[in-house]
Structure 1
Amino acid sequence: MKPQINVARSKSPEELHTQLQELSQKLEEVEDEKNSYETLVDIITQHSTDLENQIRHKNREMQTYIEQVKKVIDAAIAVKNNSFQPQILSDVAARSDALGELAQVFSHMVQTVKAREQELEKLLQAYGRFVPDEFLQFLGKQSIVDFQLGDHVSKEMAIMFSDMRSFTTMAEQMTPQENFDFINNYLQQISPEIRKHNGFIVKYIGDGVMAVFPDGVDDAIQAGIVKLEQLQKYNQSRKINGDIPLKIGIGIHVGDTMVGIIGDVNRMQADALSDHVNLTARLEGLTKYYGVSLLISGDAVQRLSQPEKYHIRFLDRAIVKGRQEAITVCEVLDVEVEPVRSLKIKTLPIFEEGLQEYSQGNFAKAIVCFEQIVALNPDDKPSQLYLKRIQSLLKNSIPANWNGVWKFTQK
């Protein structure tokens, strides 16, 4: 049997044309679909790029934000360390958001606080002129605001009184303003030496100064010597200006003294209270009587840790008015100007001999000693004083049981 062969029917041109058109249409549809996909991909790619850029921008903003927040934190630490400077937050304060507002408020607050601290510091410095730091430390106080009425410390300490000679006479020739200027200028010359030698001024008494030295007599005597040296320099400048030289007297004693705050709740002041304070004031007053610049008590001499550093001359045993017991009065020769100082040291053995004869009632022998001293040193006021005192004793009746102690009837 022969195989059958299927022969495809040939299509007409019209059918082929129609089929070609359909195929072309499908191709166009496929092409359109492809273009749509490409457009979609482009859109997605663009959006992805934009989103990535936005994320990067936000990251940069966040990084900047974090850095600027850290600046605010650093600024707070700087305030704590007292090293804050306004420019630290200048770029943060320029922001227009909440962080910028925070930086502005923070900077303003810090500057306000610093201004108030500076004002407070000025006030404390001003108060310190009335109540020195040494006084605060002595009473164990951190600040003047810690003071309470009655606060005090009681211990043995050296006490110093100093006073200007003939100030009243000088003041009569000056206006009130000139008086204040003169006293302030004078006190500025001598007061610093007290602080330099571990003392502090308790109070000013007109042209006088009352000071204490908690660490002992050596500080007080050294301060007194330097004060008088400063006065000599000050007098040189006054002499150049045609002004008369100033003279001061200094008295130093030692003993248990109470230093503290007295007054009432509305008006308080520093003061030192004890019988030793009163005695120191009397010693200072006696500098006029003996004609010397610096007197110290026998108790003060005994408390010196290095008495060999000074030239000290025993002057008298005396009972000041209002007291029953005699005190030993001594002169510090180191404050004298030359040649008086050298002459007083040279004649010291003769002076001591004269005092011994005087205390034993051997007035004729005492006169010989003191006249010998005055012949060598006419400026030795205590020797002149003893000559006058002996003449007065010889002229009047010598007290019974004479032992050389002189009793003052006036302050």
Structure 2
Amino acid sequence: MNPATPEPRGTDLVFAERPNSPIRNEAAWIILIVDDDQGVHDVTRLALDGLEFDGRRLTFVSAQSGREAIELLRTRQDIALVLLDVVMESDHAGLRVIEVTRGEIGNPAVRFVLRTGQPGHAPERQVITDYDISDYKTKGELTAGKLYTTVVASLRTYRHIRALDQHRERAEATATALQRFFPGEYLALLQRAGITEVCLGDQIQREMTVMFVDVRGFTGMSETMSPAECFRFINRLFAHLCPIVREQHGIIDKFLGDGFLALFPRSADDALQVALALQRRMLAFNAEYGENVRIGIGVHTGVLMLGTVGDAARMEATVLSDAVNLSARLEALTKRYSAGVILSQQTLLATANPGAYGVRSIGEVHVPGKQAAIAIYELIDADSEQLRSAKMATAADFAEAVACYQTGAHGEACMLLQRVLNRCPDDEAAGLYLRLAAEALLGRAGRRVG
């Protein structure tokens, strides 16, 4: 090699005039020299001594064999360029270094320049075609000037690859962050490959199961908390509950202060399994944090429209449907009936096997905006085992009592409901119906007396 100093080229690369000349970036380019001839290491360092590229000096690392080079490449991710001999401990040791680096180690960025004194062991055209390398030179032709050119070109390529990697990582991070505001499941439902393809007014119509979840009594709880404590409590609770929804193919459409709306496009069974899991998770949450928090869940299945609303400057995905309103009203009824989960008859019939769930009818309700009454059910599988067993044992009497109450047979309803409460004193829905039936009887008797 000829160690003569080449001319500087552009602003990217200069040779330092003094050993202590300032550089713009303290990080150095790491160059790995791999050769079993120590003289090659010495001459290479001499030829490139004092070189700076893009404001950074070169730092050299040496390996005397392919095996040693592989170990360095396994442990160091900062190597930018490898000046690599082909024939060392074996005829193709250098090629093996490339194969392991690109394959097993999975490093696509580091650049390789092959230098060989025996080109017959690795024909140039074949190597350039089959291996991801920047250059291939025989040791005889690699003068100081050519070495300079090769190193600069390789480092520039490495810099571009790393910049592209950083852009890709930022793009992936941005896409991941956007999914926190616009779930990827929405993109699939709207048949869009990415969020940039979503347009205002995109929409689909299909049957889904809708779930409303609400924390009981949070308004009263929040009066004793600071704003920061309120946010910590809600976020801690949601951290326990929300993953359960996603694990069962649900989509959290929006958060509603101390509750949320979730969609289940795959099946009604997904929604009921989540409702059960959420109630059970609350037991663990209360035990872990010493709380006594309860949630109410309303579930309904129906046709809805999912799409984007807003204007050109601000839009969001949402659902528009009577099914959404009805599920919210069912959740509100959980307070009236002291139930953990209330579902509509439509949801029960939409399951693969309605008999697989422990439910009991709690009658029919008239919902504002609906002419026909809605049959609703309590998912008693969500109760504790003891309460669930007692409700199952009295289910027939309870159903008959509710039917009597709704047909005006209040005396018979009172008798049946008292029998239910004798066997299951904690049945709050039975207690409610008993009070209503007794009030109806007293009101009728009062009208007769008057």
TM-score (norm 2): 0.67
Of 270, 283, 290, which residue of structure 1 is paired with 2:337? 290
* Residue matched to 1:49: none
Contact kept in structure 1, 2:298 and 2:331, CA below 8 Å: yes
Q: Deviations over 1:83-136 (max 9, x none)?
A: 513254698799644333221111000000101111111111111111222222
Q: In structure 2, the residue corresponding to 1:174 is in which secondary structure?
A: coil
Of 267, 273, 285, which residue of structure 2 is paired with 1:222? 273
- The 3 A distance-change label for structure 1 pair 107 and 256 is same
* Residue matched to 2:363: 316
Q: Deviations over 1:132-166 (max 9, x none)?
A: 22222222222222211111221011111110000
* Residue matched to 1:326: 373
Task: Work out the CA distance in 2 between the residues paired with 1:100 and 1:397.
Answer: 100
Contact kept in structure 2, 1:89 and 1:107, CA below 8 Å: no
2:383 aligned with 1:336: yes
2:408 aligned with 1:361: yes
Instruction: For residue 324 of structure 1, report the CA deviation from its aligned partner.
Output: 2.4
* Residue matched to 1:384: 431
Instruction: For residue 388 of structure 1, report the CA deviation from its aligned partner.
Output: 1.4
Of 153, 156, 177, which residue of structure 1 is paired with 2:204? 153
Task: Work out the CA distance in 1 between the residues paired with 2:268 and 2:289.
Answer: 31
Task: Work out the CA distance in 1 between the residues paired with 2:437 and 2:217.
Answer: 28
Of 174, 196, 203, which residue of structure 2 is paired with 1:123? 174
* Residue matched to 1:84: 108
Instruction: For residue 170 of structure 1, report the CA deviation from its aligned partner.
Output: 0.8
How do residues 25-40 of structure 1 correspond to structure 2 at under 5 angstroms? none
Contact kept in structure 1, 2:109 and 2:162, CA below 8 Å: no
* Residue matched to 1:135: 186
Instruction: For residue 275 of structure 1, report the CA deviation from its aligned partner.
Output: 0.8
* More relative contact order, 1 or 2 (CA 8 Å, 6+ apart): 1
Contact kept in structure 1, 2:205 and 2:303, CA below 8 Å: yes
The number of equivalent residue pairs is 325
Instruction: For residue 325 of structure 1, report the CA deviation from its aligned partner.
Output: 2.0
Contact kept in structure 2, 1:203 and 1:270, CA below 8 Å: no
* Residue matched to 2:294: 247
Question: 5+ residue gaps in structure 1?
Answer: 1-63, 399-411
Structure with more of its chain in helix, by fraction: 1
Question: 5+ residue gaps in structure 2?
Answer: 1-82, 87-93, 116-133, 136-143, 446-450
Instruction: For residue 397 of structure 1, report the CA deviation from its aligned partner.
Output: 5.8
* Residue matched to 2:27: none
Task: Work out the CA distance in 2 between the residues paired with 1:308 and 1:245.
Answer: 32
2:417 aligned with 1:370: yes
* Residue matched to 1:211: 262
Task: Work out the CA distance in 1 between the residues paired with 2:109 and 2:355.
Answer: 57
* Residue matched to 1:196: 247
> Which one has the largest radius of gyration?
1
2:217 aligned with 1:166: yes
* Residue matched to 1:352: 399
TM-score (norm 1): 0.73
Task: Work out the CA distance in 1 between the residues paired with 2:334 and 2:435.
Answer: 17
- The 3 A distance-change label for structure 1 pair 89 and 238 is farther
Q: In structure 2, the residue corresponding to 1:373 is in which secondary structure?
A: helix
Task: Work out the CA distance in 2 between the residues paired with 1:229 and 1:187.
Answer: 14
Task: Work out the CA distance in 2 between the residues paired with 1:182 and 1:310.
Answer: 32
CA RMSD of the aligned region, Å?
Answer: 2.8
Q: Deviations over 1:275-295 (max 9, x none)?
A: 111111111111011110100
Structure with more of its chain in strand, by fraction: 2
* Residue matched to 1:110: 161
Of 346, 349, 356, which residue of structure 2 is paired with 1:302? 349
Q: In structure 2, the residue corresponding to 1:246 is in which secondary structure?
A: coil
Q: In structure 2, the residue corresponding to 1:209 is in which secondary structure?
A: strand
- The 3 A distance-change label for structure 1 pair 301 and 65 is closer
How do residues 275-286 of structure 1 correspond to structure 2 at under 5 angstroms? 275-286=322-333
Instruction: For residue 392 of structure 1, report the CA deviation from its aligned partner.
Output: 2.8
